[in-house]
Structure 1
């Protein structure tokens, strides 16, 4: 039998009820296009009654109907005691009855005598795997449903299901876009606070420290030591505020995405890090062709710089730092021979301000890899690390390679 197979569900299942409410179809007026589908199905099936129903916790609502009495049509719904369609919802599959008097699920249903319902065939109207109701047809007398009749009902149910999915997806995308816009505005507002409200008092502290430095020769050793700690802390705070500001600005792309040559990005990043490479005695090489991608050139350059810098900084004593950039199995990889990372920290290292080592051993703000992760996410990719202690680290990432690539469609159950 044709027809969408869905997840069996209790009528009170929360996700189903949220989706049911989100359609807006439990209230009048009903969409005219659904009534047109019902009329067309009725013409094809030559059944006296054709319905589109949505099944709530205590009632079934007629979203489209043909053949009901004037009284039933005005009521627009029936209690569950009269519902055949509830069995489509609870089973998650088509419910076909050739003779209602012989089916144990519905033989005692009041509708078998009041309508009357001699035969029934209903197919799931669903969003994702959640069945909201049924596209169904009724005969007053027992009726042997043909394969063609069942196929017609299945096709109409699928058409309506896809339309509801598309409508809800548009609403979800709009809500998501609005939420993202608000989040970006809040983040940019926070960046302004960081840049101004917090930097101003910090400048005052630095000014006082500079003034105090003129009198250090007259101060006891403990005062000079405290001054040194205070100066280092002020410098550290300045670096952290700037790093946080840089992170918050990532949500606002500096220019439109374009085709980017990763070979050029890599070469420019290495050129920018000449001083660090010289100071560490490191060896940075590009192996093979890195190919093209689609993205923001400035952000991809920052991504490459951060990963190379990470490999040079976290090196093992007495071992020349080496960083190799290549593409393996479609993944951009940045491999180093540094101190490595325990597997239990493989996810945590991408958190903002997460550090695994003392600042005195490896200086930095602890935000570099968080920036890398955010840049990759903005390019609809993924980043992860393969590493263990004293074995070096290999940062692997995928990037969007074409402007035509689309984000994965969300499941409706995860959105409501």
Structure 2
């Protein structure tokens, strides 16, 4: 063999893409299988050859998926080094390699297979993958020189095609098993990911529930603070009618003893007493309605809600010399929760009062204006307590909008200083 032929064979054997195709069929170093052994027996029987092989050419050896008639130890080893290989020379698809007497052939006369394997005559058919790579050969061997007939060559070619069918079948099985294993691994990864997602979702739900509880606590704290303010205001509002009732209670016995108690005088006093009692009752009704939760939305007048809220705290504001003015440029009606609406306004008024206590302006004044803007009701609460720092100004803007999916007027509270 000349140098160029030797290099061509070596490059063919060592070709990385060919070796990758060989490993893809996953037959190297696998046990013998009856399907392949049956084909080598048929080839040996039909050609009268003492030996037949399914040979796969690796980078440094030839492995026999099926071997019939080799001398020991090669029969048991089921492989030889490439120094003992004729099959590595099968490099052209669909082209049989036919050797009558290897001892006289210029390419094979020095091959160690002649001495160690008793290979004199050789007929080999390339085993070609679907994408054109030569994986090895299907061959019959004889220990004496011989002529291979055309019929023998044709039969061995047919049997080689059957060998490739078996190889491709096993390659498909390996591919399917690999895909199934990858699918199981992906399913396991997905299962783990779903488990982590469920855990994270549960944790988020717990966090959301804690936030809701904190919101409820903050709302409750706001209600308690408002209740304290209203209780103080009720005390102020009850003081005058209670004083009236007390004075009348003292005056009636005196008038009776002096003999001045007439029916007309009694009617006048009773009327004043009933007015005082009615005033106290109305205060209680306002207090009760403010803290009675409303389960469903209702349509209510914004101006009435504002006036009602102001009436709950106006006396306590006046006592600290805070003037409160309510004006309107519209009579908007909205759907919502009137108590919650009043709660927001009440919190603004309480905050304004606290700001006045700290700032002590000369004429503390709170102005509330009810109007409309772009189809929404707007309640503007302004005071002259000195202003809010820019970095926290956004905290004092509380906006609400119509329910999602419904047309209607929204509303807005704006606190300006």
Settle same-fold status: TM greater than 0.5.
no
TM-score for the superposition, normalised by structure 2: 0.44
TM-score for the superposition, normalised by structure 1: 0.44
Greater C-alpha radius of gyration: 2
